[in-house]
Amino acid sequence: MRTAVMLFTRDLRVHDNPALAAACAADLVVPLYVDDPGRATSPARRRFLAESLADLRGALRGLGADLLVRRGDTVAEVMRVCEAHGAAGVSCADDFGRFESGLRERLRQACDAAGVLLLRTAGVTAVPPGAVLPSGGGDHYKVFTPYWRAWSRTRRRPVEPAPERIPTPDGVNGDDPFAVLDVPPEANARFPGGEGAAADRLDAWAPRAEDYTERSDDLAADATSRLSPYLAFGCLSPRALAADGRLPDAFVRQLCWRDFHYQVLAAFPGLADTAYRGDEDWAEDPGALDAWRRGETGIDIVDAGMRQLLAEGWMPGRARLICAAHLTKTLGLDWRRGEAWFAEHLVDYDEANNAGNWQWTAGTGNDTKPYRRFSHERQAARFDPDGAYRRRWLS
């Protein structure tokens, strides 16, 4: 094929990017990112995205190419770029969920109508949804432990090196992502975006990773990787990360949880608004919901987590569990309210993992013990025994 469009989505990297590797089989490649208003965003995520695109653009320029950044409907923009450059193919990573599954179908139809070949590859997970299936039948695993066993044994695609060079047609003049994306000045900049920043974070954290098994739930220790925004935007390849020999099994198991929720979302695209199994009769209490959102419930461990979310756009997993359990199991409020609040504030927001974890905590999802109770006193005593985490966020 003479020319292919490489549509970057949530795979903002040049290393181990299967869609980019596939596009590079063409003679010429047009790298493109479309900022689609249909995709959920937030000020902090816009900043992270703009920084990641600027970093990607720099990497592509180093390989002889550039990056077009357009704003609008993805399908319309892709077809416009195909027409402008006479492209015969489009390559992109497969993605899942409410917006992405609709987009996939519309892009397929538009490509079919224009006689353009659409190539969809793996890339947003370590193991793609559908690659491991339960032996008893069904299109996904409903329970984590058997999935983890099958996931650990499955053969993986090879890790792709970055292309050596990306030949690009004349007239591909890249765009400044900050000019196109319009990043609000107040956007939280706690996490610097980009593949370069992801590699720096990983290299800085890897020597401490051996503590992960013991300390990942210790709230004050802040001993988890904080790699989640990089995984959510694909600045880091989950496939390559899962094979990084420096990281303990307990960490790789968390990456498997990430894939687990993706394979649930692929089979059940409505995960963010429809209960996966029977729903509860949730209470309505706008005052209690508002206090929870602002970190003013009066329960220290919950308030500390919720204030960290407002300040950093991020919380450790244990704090997310405690806050989500308080909203759903203690206050009896609808998990969708919490899911939406997290979606608005998390810099690492990811539909599969936000919705999957909210449903798990609420007992409407994939937990095998849906009626489990969380005592905030016990959680605080166990995971913040001397109160250092609470003091950090409440004083």
Ligand X SMILES: Cc1cc2nc3c(=O)[nH]c(=O)nc-3n(C[C@H](O)[C@H](O)[C@H](O)COP(=O)(O)OP(=O)(O)OC[C@H]3O[C@@H](n4cnc5c(N)ncnc54)[C@H](O)[C@@H]3O)c2cc1C
Q: According to CB under 6 A, which one of 350, 364, 366, 393 is a site residue for ligand X? A: 350
Residue closer to ligand X, measured from CB, 231 or 289: 231
Q: Which amino acid is at 301?
A: I
Q: According to CB under 6 A, which one of 81, 132, 304, 324 is a site residue for ligand X? A: 324
348 annotated to bind ligand: yes
Residue 255 CA to residue 40 CA, distance in Å, equals 23
User: Residue 322, interface with ligand X (CB under 6 A)?
Assistant: no
Residue closer to ligand X, measured from CB, 25 or 204: 204
User: Residue 235, interface with ligand X (CB under 6 A)?
Assistant: no
135 annotated to bind ligand: no
Rg (CA), the chain: 21
User: Residue 98, interface with ligand X (CB under 6 A)?
Assistant: no
Residue closer to ligand X, measured from CB, 141 or 251: 251
User: Residue 195, interface with ligand X (CB under 6 A)?
Assistant: no
User: Residue 231, interface with ligand X (CB under 6 A)?
Assistant: yes
Structure tokens at 51: 């920084």
User: Residue 225, interface with ligand X (CB under 6 A)?
Assistant: yes
Q: According to CB under 6 A, which one of 151, 349, 383, 393 is a site residue for ligand X? A: 349
User: Residue 261, interface with ligand X (CB under 6 A)?
Assistant: yes
Q: According to CB under 6 A, which one of 168, 224, 297, 308 is a site residue for ligand X? A: 224
Residue closer to ligand X, measured from CB, 33 or 144: 144
User: Residue 39, interface with ligand X (CB under 6 A)?
Assistant: no
Residue 52 CA to residue 391 CA, distance in Å, equals 33
User: Residue 239, interface with ligand X (CB under 6 A)?
Assistant: no
Shortest Å, Cβ 308 to ligand X: 11
- From first CA to last CA, the distance across the chain in angstroms is 61
Describe the strand order of the beta sheet including 68-71 as a list of residue ranges.
68-71, 28-35, 3-8, 89-93, 117-121
What are the start-end ranges of the E strands in 143-208? none
Q: What SS3 class is residue 234?
A: coil
User: Residue 357, interface with ligand X (CB under 6 A)?
Assistant: yes
Residue 12 CA to residue 21 CA, distance in Å, equals 13
Q: According to CB under 6 A, which one of 9, 121, 125, 228 is a site residue for ligand X? A: 228
In this structure, are residues 95 and 124 in contact, taking their beta carbons and an 8 Å threshold?
A: yes
Question: Which part of the chain contacts ligand X (CB under 6 A), choosing from 172-180, 247-255, 290-298, 368-376?
Answer: 247-255
Residue closer to ligand X, measured from CB, 89 or 338: 338
In this structure, are residues 209 and 251 in contact, taking their beta carbons and an 8 Å threshold?
A: yes
Q: According to CB under 6 A, which one of 232, 291, 299, 306 is a site residue for ligand X? A: 232
Shortest Å, Cβ 229 to ligand X: 8
Shortest Å, Cβ 284 to ligand X: 20
Pairs from 219-225 (Cβ < 8 Å, separation ≥ 24): 219/304, 219/316, 219/318, 219/319, 219/383, 219/384, 219/388, 219/389, 220/384, 220/386, 220/388, 220/389, 220/392, 222/316, 224/316, 224/317, 225/201, 225/251
Structure tokens at 278: 């029977």
User: Residue 11, interface with ligand X (CB under 6 A)?
Assistant: no
User: Residue 254, interface with ligand X (CB under 6 A)?
Assistant: yes
User: Residue 321, interface with ligand X (CB under 6 A)?
Assistant: yes
Structure tokens at 320: 């997310």
In this structure, are residues 168 and 68 in contact, taking their beta carbons and an 8 Å threshold?
A: no
Shortest Å, Cβ 225 to ligand X: 3
Residue 93 CA to residue 118 CA, distance in Å, equals 11
Q: Which spans of this chain sit near ligand X (rule: CB under 6 A)?
A: 216, 224-228, 231-232, 251, 254-255, 257-258, 261, 316-317, 320-321, 324, 342, 346, 348-350, 353-354, 357-358, 361
Give the annotated binding-site residues: 212, 224-228, 251, 348-350
